[in-house]
Amino acid sequence: MQTIGFIGGGNMAQALIEGILQNKLYAPRSVWVSDVRPKRLAELRAAYGVHITQVNTELTAAADMVVLSVKPQLLGHVLDDIAGTLRPSALVVSIAAGKTCNFILERLGKVQLVRVMPNTPALVGAGMAGLYNATASAKGLKAVSALFNAVGKTAVVDDEDLIDSVTAVSGSGPAYFFLLMEEMIKAGVELGLPENIAAELVLQTAKGAALLAEKAQEKGQTPSLLRKNVTSPGGTTEAAVHVFEAAQFSQMVQEAITTACERGKELSAGD
């Protein structure tokens, strides 16, 4: 793809722009952004030297790949606006949560389309995105994978319904970890630690645990094995784990993620 355009200049679009420029997938002159906010557009042009416009159809006339990075409730309006204006071989990428491929294809007609569920760690180059290829060519899917690999990692699912599962696990997933970190910091403060020290302990522990788990996975080792390795019989970790087990922690996690997935399906059904 020689040119790329982002309809919607929010945080995720900015993360992707930064990622593709840093990885030299595109030059600034090959990147377009449209948004209704002149101030936001000016910020993006000043930061990255990209083309900006408030007219979506000006962007679709120029872009080989069009990323729909607007809020889900605005997507229908945007699709109606750009229908019939895309380049014949244009590749459309949607990151609008809860909006199905049919919702998009019914409005745009026959286009190459990939639906993506990214997550917020993309803002720091550590994102995880689930991709579903609705109608794109193999070359198109490869281009979309490269786009999101520029800000983290990607996984392709072969059934659109699985995007709801991706949303529940990794799309919403950062919030689950943030909640655990939040409560661990509170617990540390309750045990007498200054809040700044409790926060540093928790955040660095979370970062280290994630890196350790990633390295272990490369060797075929699971998080379950890592947990067992640090849980000495009769020790402090085992005492804490017993409390989690007594509170049915495993069941709680399963129910929470299943509920998130079901809510995703409800939102999709509302197209």
What percent of the chain lies above the pLDDT cut of 70? 100
- The yes-or-no verdict on residue 270 having pLDDT over 80 is no
For the chain, domain boundaries: 4-163, 171-269
Q: How many CB atoms lie within 10 A of CB 81?
A: 15
Q: 160 pLDDT band (50/70/90 cuts)?
A: very high
So what's the pLDDT on residue 105?
Answer: 96
Does 32 score more than 90 pLDDT? yes
Helices (H), 96-194: 101-108, 138-149, 162-166, 173-190
The pTM (predicted TM-score) of the whole model is 0.92
- Rg of the chain taking only CA atoms, in angstroms: 21
With a cut of 70, say whether residue 1 has pLDDT above it.
no
Contact 177, 187 (CB under 8 A): no
User: Which pLDDT tens digit goes with each residue over 78-114?
Assistant: 999 999 999 999 999 999 988 999 999 999 999 999 9
pLDDT of residue 38: 96
Confidence of residue 164 (pLDDT cuts 50, 70, 90): very high
Q: Is the pLDDT of residue 141 over 80?
A: yes
Quick one: pLDDT at residue 267? Answer: 85
Statement: residue 255 has pLDDT above 70: yes
Q: List the CATH code of the domain at 4-163.
A: 3.40.50.720
Residue 27 has pLDDT above 70, yes or no: yes
Percent of the chain with pLDDT over 90: 96
Q: Please identify, in words, the CATH class of the domain defined by 171-269.
A: mainly alpha
